Structure 1
Amino acid sequence: MKKKVLGIATILSALMLVLAACGGGSSSNSSGGDSKETSGSLTAVGSTALQPLVEAAGKQFQSENPKAQINVQGGGSGTGLTQVQQGAVEIGNSDVFAEEKDGVDASKLVDHKVAVVGMAPVANKDVGVDNLTQQQLIDIFTGKVTNWKDVGGKDEKVTVINRAEGSGTRATFEQWALKGETPIKAQEQDSSGTVRKIVSETPGAISYLAFSYINKSVVGLSVDGVKPDEKNVATNEWKIWSYEHMYTNGKPKGLTKTFLDYMVSDAVQKDIVPQLGYQSIKEMKVERDADGKITEL
Structure 2
Amino acid sequence: MRTRKIWLGVLTLGLLALSLAGCSGQTKGQSITVVGSSALQPLVEAAGEEYSSAHTGVFINVQGGGSGTGLSQIQEGAVAIGNSDLFASEKTGINASKLVDHKVAVVGITPIVNKGVNVHNLTMAQLRGIFTGTITNWRQVGGKNQKIVLVNRAQGSGTRATFEKWVMAGQPALAAQEQDSTGMVRQIVASTPGAISYVAFSYVDKSVRSMSVDDVSPTVNNVHTGKWQIWAYEHMYTQKKQNKLTKNFLKYMFSNKVQQKLVPQMGYIPITDMLIERDVDGHITKLK
Residue of structure 1 in register with 2:118 after alignment: 128
Report the TM-score, using the length of structure 1 for normalisation.
0.88
Q: Deviations over 1:251-280 (max 9, x none)?
A: 433000000010011110111111110000
RMSD of aligned alpha carbons: 1.4
Residue of structure 2 in register with 1:114 after alignment: 104
Indicate conservation of the 8 Å contact 1:262/1:268, yes or no.
yes
Q: Deviations over 1:168-187 (max 9, x none)?
A: 00000001122232110000
Q: Deviations over 1:84-118 (max 9, x none)?
A: 00011000000010000000010100000100000
1:201 aligns with 2:191: yes
Aligned with residue 59 of structure 2, among 66, 69, 76:
69
Report the TM-score, using the length of structure 2 for normalisation.
0.91
Aligned with residue 283 of structure 2, among 286, 293, 297:
293
Q: 1:59 and 1:32, CA in 2 relative to 1: closer, same or farther beyond 3 A?
A: closer
The DSSP-based 3-state class of the residue aligned with 1:83 is helix
Aligned with residue 138 of structure 1, among 128, 144, 153:
128
Residue of structure 2 in register with 1:160 after alignment: 150
1:236 aligns with 2:226: yes
Indicate conservation of the 8 Å contact 1:115/1:278, yes or no.
yes
Between 56-65 and 247-256, report the one with greater CA deviation: 247-256
1:183 aligns with 2:183: no
Structure 1, gaps ≥5 residues long: 1-28
Indicate conservation of the 8 Å contact 1:110/1:251, yes or no.
no
1:53 aligns with 2:43: yes
The DSSP-based 3-state class of the residue aligned with 1:177 is helix
- Write the distance in 2 (CA, Å) between the matches of 1:178 and 1:266: 36
- Write the distance in 2 (CA, Å) between the matches of 1:46 and 1:117: 15
Q: Which residue identity does 2:226 align to in structure 1? A: N
Q: Deviations over 1:143-185 (max 9, x none)?
A: 0010001101111000000000000000000011222321100
Q: Deviations over 1:121-155 (max 9, x none)?
A: 11001110111000000110000010001101111
Structure 2, gaps ≥5 residues long: 1-17
- Write the distance in 1 (CA, Å) between the matches of 2:151 and 2:21: 55
- Write the distance in 2 (CA, Å) between the matches of 1:107 and 1:37: 30
Which of these two proteins has the greater Rg computed from alpha carbons?
A: 1
Indicate conservation of the 8 Å contact 1:117/1:243, yes or no.
yes
Task: State the identity %.
Answer: 61
Q: Which residue identity does 1:120 align to in structure 2? A: T
